[in-house]
C-alpha cells in the first residue's frame, strides 16, 4: 500500500485545513463578530486539535487502519458501516458543492459567457487524474502548490499595508465576548472537514512507533500555521475595507488584488489569485474525492479500479451541476456547520470514549 512521508503529512494537513477558507473566512467571521472577527480564527482552528489527537491515539492502537475500520473493531460492524455511509454522503455532497463553487466563481470573475458545466468538467478531469495517480503523487503535488498559495497570501498582505485605515482596528471587543463564540464555532466547522480527511488518510501514514510523536507535532504546526495565516487574512481585509464592507464582499481577496500596485508597472493581479485559488481547490476537492473512495472501500470493499473513479466522477458532476445557483455557497456553510461539525465531533468522541473505557476496563 502507498504511504506518505511525515513531512508530506504535515503539508497535506495544512493544505486540507486551509483549503479555500482564505476566501470566505473574512466575510464569515465579520458577520458574526464585526471588527473583532479576527480574534475568532486561531481559537477556531485550535479547537480542532483535540479531535486530531484523539484520532492519532486510536491510530497508535490500530496501525494501518482508518477510522471507519477502527470503529468496526470498537463499536461493531453495522454501526461502523452506518458511519461509513454518512462519511461517503457528506464527502460527496461537500465535494460536489465545491465543484459548483468553481464553476460559479470562474463564470462571474473571468469568463462570464462560458457555462458553469465547462468549468466543473475541466476541474473534475484534473481531480480524477490526480487521485488516480495515488496518494503519494497527491502528497508531492501539495508540497509544490501549498507553498505557492502561502507565499501569495503573505505577499498580498504585505502589499496591502499602505492602504491600511488604522482607525478600523478600534474599538476592540466593542460588542463583548458573545459574538466571538459564534465566530469560533463557524471557524471550527471549517476545520472539522480536515478531521474527516484525517480519519480516512490514517491508513496511508507510516506505522513506525517513532513517528507517533512527530504526527502530533506536525498537526499542531499545521493548524497553528493555518490559523495564523487566516487570522492575518481577516485582519488585513478589516484594516483595508472596514468591517461593514468586509461583510459585504464575497471575494475580498480578489478586490485586494485589483487594488495592489507594485511601483508603477504591476497592478490588478487578481487573475493570479484565481490561479492560486484553483490550485487550492484542486487539493481540497481531490482530498474529498479520496475520502469518498476510502469510505467505499471500507464499507463495500470495492477494488481500486478505474470504473469506480469514473462512476464517482459522474456522481460529483451530476450533484455539482444540480447545486449550481445563487444559494449553493450558503449551502456550503450550512453543510460545514450543521453536518460536518456534529458528525465529525460525535464520531471521534464516541469511538475514542468507548475505546478509552474498554482499555480502562481491561487494565482494571
Runs of H (alpha helix) within 19-114: 25-33, 41-46, 49-61, 67-75, 77-109
Of 264 and 216, the one with more pLDDT: 216
Peptide bond into 171 cis (omega under 30): yes
CA–CA gap between residue 154 and residue 160 (Å, rounded):
10
pLDDT tens digits, one per residue of 297-309: 999 999 888 999 9
Please give the average per-residue pLDDT across 148-161, as a whole number. Answer: 84
Of residues 61, 54, 51, 67, the one with CA closest to residue 362: 61
CB-based contacts of 363, cutoff 8 Å, min separation 6: none
What is the pLDDT, as a whole number, of residue 268? 52
Annotate 286-305 with DSSP letters as a single string. Answer: HHHHHHHHHHHHHHH---S-
| CA dihedral of 201, 202, 207, 208, whole degrees rounded to 10 | 90
CA–CA gap between residue 125 and residue 3 (Å, rounded):
24
Cell numbers representing residue 218 in the block: 506536525
Q: How many residues does the chain have?
A: 364
Please give the average per-residue pLDDT across 213-233, as a whole number. Answer: 92
Measured at the CA of 102, the angle between CA 157 and CA 259, to 5 degrees, comes to 30
What is the pLDDT, as a whole number, of residue 270? 61
Of 317 and 273, the one with more pLDDT: 317
CA–CA gap between residue 74 and residue 213 (Å, rounded):
23
CA–CA gap between residue 96 and residue 83 (Å, rounded):
20
Q: Are 279 and 145 in contact (CB under 8 A)?
A: yes
Q: Are 41 and 230 in contact (CB under 8 A)?
A: yes
Please give the average per-residue pLDDT across 19-45, as a whole number. Answer: 88
**Does the structure show a pLDDT above 80 at 110?**
no
Q: Are 270 and 257 in contact (CB under 8 A)?
A: yes
Q: Are 69 and 80 in contact (CB under 8 A)?
A: yes
pLDDT tens digits, one per residue of 318-347: 988 887 655 666 778 888 889 999 999 999
Please give the average per-residue pLDDT across 37-57, as a whole number. Answer: 94
What is the pLDDT, as a whole number, of residue 262? 55
* pLDDT bucket at 101, cuts 50 / 70 / 90: confident
Q: What is the mean pLDDT of the chain?
A: 86
What is the pLDDT, as a whole number, of residue 68? 96
What is the pLDDT, as a whole number, of residue 320? 84
Cell numbers representing residue 98 in the block: 465545491
Q: Are 130 and 141 in contact (CB under 8 A)?
A: yes
Domain definitions of the chain by residue range: 6-352
Of 130 and 325, the one with more pLDDT: 130
Structure pTM? 0.92
What is the pLDDT, as a whole number, of residue 341? 94
What is the pLDDT, as a whole number, of residue 346? 96
Which residues on adjacent β-strands are paired with residue 267? 261
What is the pLDDT, as a whole number, of residue 319? 87
SS3 for 48?
coil
What is the pLDDT, as a whole number, of residue 286? 95
Rg of the chain over CA atoms, in angstroms?
A: 21
Q: Are 3 and 205 in contact (CB under 8 A)?
A: yes
Please give the average per-residue pLDDT across 135-163, as a whole number. Answer: 88
Please give the average per-residue pLDDT across 181-188, as a whole number. Answer: 92
Q: What is the 3-state secondary structure (H, E, C) of 241-264?
A: HCHHHHHHCCCHHHHHHHHCEECC
pLDDT tens digits, one per residue of 229-259: 999 999 999 988 888 888 888 777 777 766 6
Which residues on adjacent β-strands are paired with residue 261? 267
> In CATH, which of 1.20.1740.10, 2.60.40.10, 1.20.1440.130, 3.90.1150.10 is domain 6-352?
1.20.1740.10
Amino acid at each position: 500500500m502507498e504511504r506518505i512521508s511525515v513531512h508530506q503529512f504535515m503539508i497535506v494537513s495544512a493544505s486540507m485545513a486551509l483549503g479555500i477558507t482564505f476566501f470566505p473566512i473574512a466575510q464569515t467571521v465579520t458577520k458574526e463578530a464585526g471588527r473583532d472577527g479576527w480574534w475568532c480564527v486561531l481559537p477556531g482552528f485550535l479547537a480542532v486539535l483535540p479531535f486530531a489527537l484523539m484520532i492519532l491515539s486510536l491510530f497508535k492502537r490500530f496501525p494501518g487502519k482508518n477510522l471507519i475500520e477502527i470503529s468496526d473493531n470498537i463499536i461493531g460492524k453495522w454501526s461502523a458501516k452506518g458511519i461509513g455511509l454518512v462519511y461517503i454522503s457528506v464527502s460527496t455532497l461537500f465535494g460536489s458543492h465545491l465543484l459548483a463553487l468553481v464553476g460559479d466563481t470562474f463564470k462571474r470573475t473571468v469568463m462570464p459567457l462560458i457555462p458553469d458545466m465547462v468549468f466543473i468538467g475541466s476541474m473534475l478531469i484534473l481531480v480524477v487524474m490526480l487521485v488516480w495517480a495515488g496518494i503519494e503523487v497527491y502528497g508531492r503535488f501539495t508540497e509544490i502548490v501549498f507553498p505557492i498559495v502561502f507565499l501569495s497570501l503573505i505577499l498580498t498582505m504585505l502589499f496591502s499595508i499602505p492602504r491600511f485605515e488604522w482607525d478600523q482596528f478600534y474599538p476592540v471587543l466593542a460588542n463583548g465576548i458573545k459574538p466571538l463564540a459564534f465566530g469560533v464555532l463557524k471557524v471550527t466547522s471549517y476545520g472539522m472537514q480536515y478531521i474527516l480527511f484525517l480519519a480516512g488518510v490514517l491508513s496511508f501514514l507510516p506505522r513506525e512507533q517513532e513517528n507517533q510523536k512527530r504526527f502530533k507535532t506536525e498537526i499542531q504546526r499545521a493548524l497553528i500555521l493555518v490559523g495564523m495565516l487566516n487570522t492575518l487574512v481577516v485582519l488585513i481585509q478589516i484594516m483595508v475595507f472596514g468591517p461593514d464592507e468586509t461583510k459585504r464582499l464575497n471575494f475580498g481577496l480578489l478586490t485586494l488584488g485589483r487594488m495592489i500596485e507594485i511601483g508603477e508597472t504591476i497592478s490588478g493581479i487578481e487573475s493570479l489569485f484565481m490561479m492560486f485559488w484553483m490550485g487550492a481547490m484542486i487539493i481540497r476537492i481531490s482530498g474529498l474525492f479520496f475520502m469518498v473512495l476510502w469510505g467505499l472501500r471500507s464499507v463495500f470493499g470495492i477494488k481500486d479500479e478505474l470504473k469506480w473513479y469514473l462512476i464517482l466522477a459522474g456522481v460529483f458532476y451530476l450533484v455539482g451541476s444540480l447545486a449550481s445557483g445563487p444559494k449553493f455557497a450558503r449551502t456550503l456553510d450550512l453543510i460545514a456547520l450543521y453536518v460536518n461539525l456534529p458528525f465529525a465531533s460525535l464520531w471521534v468522541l464516541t469511538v475514542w470514549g468507548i475505546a478509552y473505557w474498554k482499555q480502562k476496563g481491561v487494565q482494571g
